Structure 1
Amino acid sequence: MKRLFGLIGLTYLSVLAVVFNLYSRLTFILIFAGSFVLAGIWIVLLILKKKKNVRRVLAIVSITALCASFVMILYTNYYYNPIIDKYSSKEVSINGFICDEIVKSENYAKYTIQTDTINGEDVHLKIQFNSYADLNIAEFNNISLHCVMYEADSNSLVSDGIFFKTYVDDTFNIEQVGDKHFSLYSFAVEARKAMKSSLQTLLPSDYSSMCSAVLLGDKLSLPRNVLNSFTNTGSSFLIVVSGMHMAVIASVGLFLIKKFTRNKIIHLIAVSFFVISFMAVTGFAPSVVRSGIMIIIYYSAAVFFRTSDAVNSLGIAALFLLLPNPYAVGDVGLVLSFSATLGIILWSGKMYDYIISKLEIKSKLLKALLRLVTASLSASVCVVPFSAIYFERISPLVLFVSVLVTFAVEGLIVCSLFASLIYLVPFVSYLAYPFALVCGLLSKYIIFVVGLFADIPYSSVNSDKPYFYVWIVVSIILVIIGYLIKVRGRYVAIAVALSFLTLVTGRVTYMLVTENEVTATVYCTGNGMMVAVGSSDNISLLCCGGNAGSTERVLDDIADDYNAVDFLIIPDQKYKYSRYQFELISEFDCSNVLVYDNGSTDFQMLSDYDGKVRQSFGNDVCFTLQLSKNVTDTVLCIDDVVYQLLRSNASTMLVMPSGADISVLPDEFRNIDYAVIDSIPTNYNMINCKYLIYSNTVSDFKENYNSLSEICDDVTNTSESNVIIDFKEVSLCQR
């Protein structure tokens, strides 16, 4: 079979991706049933002695699917789950070392620890945490850590082998011990830091961050508005180090080596060295490893007088990545990288040859442009469905951005590489400045083009909205009609116009219908309270507390729909109500931060956090905030307790922290539609509400259930899921 490894590897990847993202008994039943159906078809064809090649494909797909399912079951139940059960939410003592670059942003630093021992036992795990203060610890320092470990709820972390996160709280204590840990990888980390430092010295911050993102995949250094522009235009793949970057690096290395020798074995050794070195410098990201393996296979084939098959190479890369770690499939970049590469392999060449033959293009410039267009289109066709699934948005403009920017990105990779390396060489560092000049011009061009398209209406379409599916169905129908009637030219223009009109009409209609919709979300955050009030275009947070393990899930949920927070209110500086304040301020543009100042020293820490002056409010005050067009928040402070009354056109909601006393409240605060509490208030019999939401743990909810049922007949708790309140319908649901 010509593409055996391609079929096995890509089937293995596909099944693992489905199982990882839809891990349930039903998923396994469907996979097993599908495998047995394929096996049945294979048996029938075998008896009839027909379609030998089809029989082989069916057998391989069926066996591979079953193997992938069993591998995921075994890895989850006998490796991952036992580790999580043993250490999650447990206070532990750790000895280990900082195993990767300390990633620093404007407000915090991110540390990754490789453990040697946990509670005295030899255990090798990865843990990540963020610090908002300088810990005076460097990469590969040996450390001693006392903390509480929480299960990492981010697929990107789990796919990288980071199963746990910890947080800087009262139990957290870290100390440097002994000498640095020796690792060959430390040389790659130092090289990465030196290259970043070179770019920061040579270029203004906006341009150096663009070069670092394109060359090294360091997206955290990009300004938020630039990163949002890439996201909104669906062109984030341009700043994800992958095949294009690796191909440029390998080509540059091979070009230099060919100046000294024509020996193909030396060429292979040199290219492999450059590729593996670059993989290490970029942190062995799955998309980089995938492209690196394919390039090494390609040059190996040339040495051994064979022709490499791109699909087989892709399959081998999938097996190389996923056999030792099935959870690597949880990396979105890996799935997008494989799908885009497969699209280019299968369709780009055929599309190019077809257009060349039909239009009889002779110009080398037009041919080069056509190759760029067909490659971008082929990749986009495969990437868009996964973007819709993973990010719940697509961009109709991604092809135009790719065509206009890809050549600049390729040039920026080469110039950034030379500028960052040459600057490190004494006596010739001045030669880096011409490359830096080109880097600045290319960075400026890329930022301008991507920003320009991001500002166009409908540059990004949310795929979780009803109008998206209507648009997809209409577009498919138009394509089918065009294929059946075999009309060219004018019909294509009409079809494109109708498709665009459907999208615009659907978007406008949806905006008009949902313009006045306001929902409140009471998050499932354990023994804390996190309440968000959102409309179609803004969100405000009435409190932001809970257990540390829920941090990533809460931030991701907000980031799915919003880039900024209008109001962030801290009604109490206990972790129950303020745990996520630093993360929120770091990840989102918070326009207004209001802090209840009860005289604690924590307020000064918050006030000085990032140089912004917070607005504080004290006891015995009352004021009203306009959260959105139709919602106000009346804040009332009595006896060191902050009460918040939300009013919309249709309903009211009262949010009360611990220590609340209903008897001190005016009547309008007592008679409401919804009440959100995390403990039983004093004089609770004086409150009148239609729905009661209790934000606390399962055990606490069960313990206080009788008292809660006396307050209201309809009691809902957040111990297992978020509670969504629809102000317009005066109803709630759990999600």
Structure 2
Amino acid sequence: MKRPLVLVGFCYLLTLAAAVYCGAKWSLVFACGSLLGFIGTLFVPKLRGTAVFSTALLTVSIAFGAFYGFHETVVEPVQKLAGQDAVIEGTVCELPAKAYGRFYYVVEVNSISQKSAPKPFKIRLSAQNALNVEPYSHVKGRVHLFLPNGGEGYSSRSYYISKGIPLFAFLYEYEGVKVSPPTQKPPYYYALRLRSALLKSVRSMLPPDEAGLVNGVLFGDTASLPKQVTEDFRTIGISHILSVSGLHMTTMAQLILMLLLFLRIPKKPACILASAGVICFMAITCFVPSVTRSGIMCLLYLMGMVVFRRPDSLNSLGIAVLLISLWNPYAAADVGLLLSFAATLGLILYSGKTADSLNAKFDRVRQISSLVRGINGILGTTVWAVLFTLPIIILTFGRVSLAAPAANLLELVPSTLMMNFSAIASVINLISPKSFLAMPFALASGLLAKFMLACAHMLAQVPFASVPASGGFVMLWLSGTILLFAAAMLMKKSRRLYQNTALLSAILLLTGILSNQIFLRDVTRLAVLDVGSANAVVLTRNGHAAVLGCGGFSSGPIKSYLQSEGITRLDCIQPLTLSNEESKNASELIHTFTPRKVVIQKEGLIDGFLQKELPNTGEVTVFNAVSRSDLWNNTNVNVQWNGNACAAHIRASGVSVLICPDGVDLSGLPIEWLDADLVVTDSTPGQMDLLDPVCTVLSMDQEDLCKAGSKVRGWNPVVTGGAGNVVLELQENRTMKIRRE
């Protein structure tokens, strides 16, 4: 084998990605199966001689086994504490963050009141009011422990485990919180302080929107970035620019090395100092997996220059992903790492070859040679980064950005220049605040940020900039693509065969997306979103959408679903309760999707968030007890305030659906509503005997579902419960299909 580290590293990471998708129990089965396969190869001389198959199978077995062992010994014991109250004492180990009107702290728990609880472990602690803490401050208080949303697979729960956070908690602030200053300040403390100072330095030089983009691109801090910007970047397929990864690390390493060489520092010492700068940048960006991967590759490259060896990029990539995966088997649950790995692999394999081929054809005029070569380099980088990351993006976000190639061409160079200028400006401004030396760099980075924001927003408004892709079709397309390329490899024909295979795969993808859109024409889809113990129902039909109930901890799941369906504007939004969370979520949806109509119970008008956003809507309908909305052809919604919340009755394609939020008095509803074919509820109503649905969708988290116990068994229940959205397709002949997304 020419590159054993490539085989081992790539197999290990991809196996862990499969383990995250399949879960711990299946990982044990696959580990045993792979081990048996490895043993089998030892008895086949032809396979034993090449060592490729035996090495790959052994690596796969070890990776599956490591994932299972890590889950059972590290993750599962901590997650068993979910649903309990406890007094904890721990250390704040990251900078505080603010989102959705709450404050969040990553705390390493050193002491807990629960007996036999494993420690130390990390939690993400939320509080209504800000705590007077800094990194490595000590916190003591009473908390309620709970699991992040989602189950096994690529969910929020797995993502936070990849960050070393298996549990969430919220603080009982009324019981008192004890905060004490740090007793020790390790090197990471100073890295976090430097990160905070650099973020403030950028904000002091630029307007809020431009500063938010610069901090997002340069440091991966998207907390202050307007939500519309994040959604525009996601729609046009360039959200990777906001995730600090290989592009950012390479830019910073090259900038540091260039500045050191400009100061006439010899090459070897300059490489060593640049390595220290790379480690510092990794710490400032909080050692996220994608940065760690690219940082390791940069360190290997710089050390190769020190010892006069030219590093092998594929080996460096294999070593980097192997080290990260060995440290935390759940690292593969970080989509940012997978995107970074896929894009880097595409660039290493084909970017340079594509640029050279284009140069040979088009670089024939000396006067514009530099411009042509620069454009060709960008084309080579863009095309292969987009192609290699496309399967991951489709599987993760459920849509294809048709604007991605153009967006990457327009945004890649400005983002690189902006990073360079803003890095220099922020450092100079930090050393000498409001210095005239920083202003030219700050001005240049601000203008580039303004261009990027305007360009992203313009492309996001183009029709069909992003189109949805159904999960079943995506899996079929990926399987077909893998089979096509496997057949091409076995045939061992010319390069043209691979090109034709790639073209055929792209045609299949676009054809599948188009046929899926045609298939769903004139079909009303009702999605009960997995938002915990709350109601969030989205109706869609022929590119139109309406939201009934905006419950949940945040508006994020509702936005994600609407964007995955290609919705850019809503026809109607109607909150069903008066809770602060629902009012806030509704206001955020109004801000993002500018609905044509908002229907609201009159007491909900007192909410400040809604009052701020309602002028941005086309029409506001206020009702006291009853309202009716005719949405589309044969789809209407009747709402009645009864008890402490609104019940909603939907009739679409001859099928009736009743939404019963917690607090609705069923005895006051019309008989026709009680005869609904389907019931959606986030509680266990005491008057459930008044209903006789064909099926009941329980929009609950696992904790509330366990409390409901045997009460729900006779309701023909389908549960969200962290397992995903429940989607119903309502067709004209009263046919109803239920599936889970």
Shorter-chain TM range is 0.7 to 0.9
Q: Which residue of 1 aligns with 2:152?
A: none
Matches within 5 A, 1:300-699: 300-357=303-360, 361=364, 363-426=369-432, 429-464=435-470, 510-511=516-517, 513-522=519-528, 529-543=535-549, 560-561=564-565, 569-573=574-578, 582=584, 585=587, 589=592, 591=595, 606-607=607-608, 611-612=612-613, 621-626=625-630, 630-638=634-642, 640=644, 642-657=646-661, 663-677=667-681, 678-682=683-687, 684-685=689-690, 689-693=693-697, 697-698=704-705
Q: In the alignment, is residue 76 of structure 1 matched against residue 76 of structure 2?
A: no
* CA displacement, residues 326-346 of structure 1 (integer Å, 9 cap, x when unaligned): 111111111111111122112
Gaps of 5+ in 1: none
On the 8 A contact 2:394/2:474 being kept in 1, the answer is no
Whole-angstrom distance in 2 between the partners of 1:635 and 1:684: 21
1:66 to 61, 70, 73: 61
CA spacing shift, 1:333–1:442, aligned 2, 3 Å: same
Whole-angstrom distance in 2 between the partners of 1:731 and 1:313: 52
On the 8 A contact 1:143/1:174 being kept in 2, the answer is no
Residue 673 of structure 1, CA deviation: 2.7
The AA in structure 2 aligned to 1:420 is S
* CA displacement, residues 3-54 of structure 1 (integer Å, 9 cap, x when unaligned): 232222222111111112222655655565456546645643459x9xx5xx
The AA in structure 2 aligned to 1:258 is L
Query: Larger deviation: 323-332 or 4-13?
Result: 4-13
Whole-angstrom distance in 2 between the partners of 1:21 and 1:465: 14
Q: Which residue of 2 aligns with 1:244?
A: 247
Matches within 5 A, 1:250-329: 250-329=253-332
Q: In the alignment, is residue 16 of structure 1 matched against residue 22 of structure 2?
A: no
On the 8 A contact 2:555/2:588 being kept in 1, the answer is no
Q: Which residue of 1 aligns with 2:92?
A: 98
Whole-angstrom distance in 1 between the partners of 2:562 and 2:463: 22
Secondary structure of 1:11's counterpart equals helix
Whole-angstrom distance in 1 between the partners of 2:411 and 2:200: 25
Q: Which residue of 2 aligns with 1:112?
A: 106
Whole-angstrom distance in 1 between the partners of 2:661 and 2:4: 62
On the 8 A contact 1:645/1:669 being kept in 2, the answer is yes
* CA displacement, residues 461-516 of structure 1 (integer Å, 9 cap, x when unaligned): 333278879999899999x99x999999xxx99x98x9999988876665455343
The AA in structure 2 aligned to 1:241 is V
CA spacing shift, 1:528–1:60, aligned 2, 3 Å: same
* CA displacement, residues 355-402 of structure 1 (integer Å, 9 cap, x when unaligned): 445566562332232222222223223211222222222334433332
2:121 to 106, 125, 140: 125
On the 8 A contact 1:127/1:163 being kept in 2, the answer is yes
Residue 434 of structure 1, CA deviation: 0.9
Q: Which residue of 2 aligns with 1:156?
A: 159
The AA in structure 1 aligned to 2:738 is C
On the 8 A contact 1:147/1:173 being kept in 2, the answer is no
Q: Which residue of 2 aligns with 1:198?
A: 201
Residue 519 of structure 1, CA deviation: 3.0
Whole-angstrom distance in 1 between the partners of 2:664 and 2:585: 28
CA spacing shift, 1:146–1:539, aligned 2, 3 Å: farther
Whole-angstrom distance in 1 between the partners of 2:492 and 2:5: 37
Percent of aligned pairs sharing the same letter: 25
CA spacing shift, 1:200–1:123, aligned 2, 3 Å: same
The AA in structure 2 aligned to 1:733 is I
On the 8 A contact 2:395/2:471 being kept in 1, the answer is no
On the 8 A contact 1:145/1:174 being kept in 2, the answer is yes
* CA displacement, residues 413-451 of structure 1 (integer Å, 9 cap, x when unaligned): 110011111122337711111112211221222223333
Residue 183 of structure 1, CA deviation: 3.6
On the 8 A contact 2:529/2:726 being kept in 1, the answer is yes
Residue 159 of structure 1, CA deviation: 0.8
* CA displacement, residues 284-319 of structure 1 (integer Å, 9 cap, x when unaligned): 121111111111111112222322111111122112
The AA in structure 1 aligned to 2:112 is I
CA spacing shift, 1:172–1:12, aligned 2, 3 Å: farther
On the 8 A contact 2:98/2:104 being kept in 1, the answer is yes
Residue 589 of structure 1, CA deviation: 3.2
Q: Which residue of 2 aligns with 1:143?
A: 139
On the 8 A contact 2:77/2:118 being kept in 1, the answer is no
CA spacing shift, 1:700–1:534, aligned 2, 3 Å: farther
* CA displacement, residues 101-151 of structure 1 (integer Å, 9 cap, x when unaligned): 223358444332222222277822222245555445444432223221112
TM-score normalized with structure 2 length: 0.82
Q: Which residue of 1 aligns with 2:153?
A: none
* CA displacement, residues 150-204 of structure 1 (integer Å, 9 cap, x when unaligned): 1234133221111112246x68756242223534223222222222222222222
The AA in structure 2 aligned to 1:644 is A
On the 8 A contact 2:138/2:182 being kept in 1, the answer is yes
Whole-angstrom distance in 2 between the partners of 1:407 and 1:524: 39
Whole-angstrom distance in 1 between the partners of 2:253 and 2:671: 73
Residue 690 of structure 1, CA deviation: 4.5
Query: Larger deviation: 450-459 or 333-342?
Result: 450-459
CA spacing shift, 1:302–1:695, aligned 2, 3 Å: closer
CA spacing shift, 1:247–1:732, aligned 2, 3 Å: closer
Query: Larger deviation: 290-299 or 551-560?
Result: 551-560
2:711 to 699, 704, 707: 704
Secondary structure of 1:123's counterpart equals coil
* CA displacement, residues 555-580 of structure 1 (integer Å, 9 cap, x when unaligned): 76566445776655554457xxx766
On the 8 A contact 1:301/1:307 being kept in 2, the answer is yes
The AA in structure 2 aligned to 1:244 is L
The AA in structure 2 aligned to 1:128 is R
The AA in structure 1 aligned to 2:90 is G
TM-score normalized with structure 1 length: 0.83
Query: Larger deviation: 87-96 or 668-677?
Result: 668-677
Query: Larger deviation: 131-140 or 62-71?
Result: 131-140
Query: Larger deviation: 147-156 or 717-726?
Result: 717-726
The AA in structure 1 aligned to 2:385 is A
The AA in structure 1 aligned to 2:61 is L
1:733 to 725, 728, 738: 738
CA spacing shift, 1:642–1:403, aligned 2, 3 Å: closer
Whole-angstrom distance in 2 between the partners of 1:611 and 1:99: 36
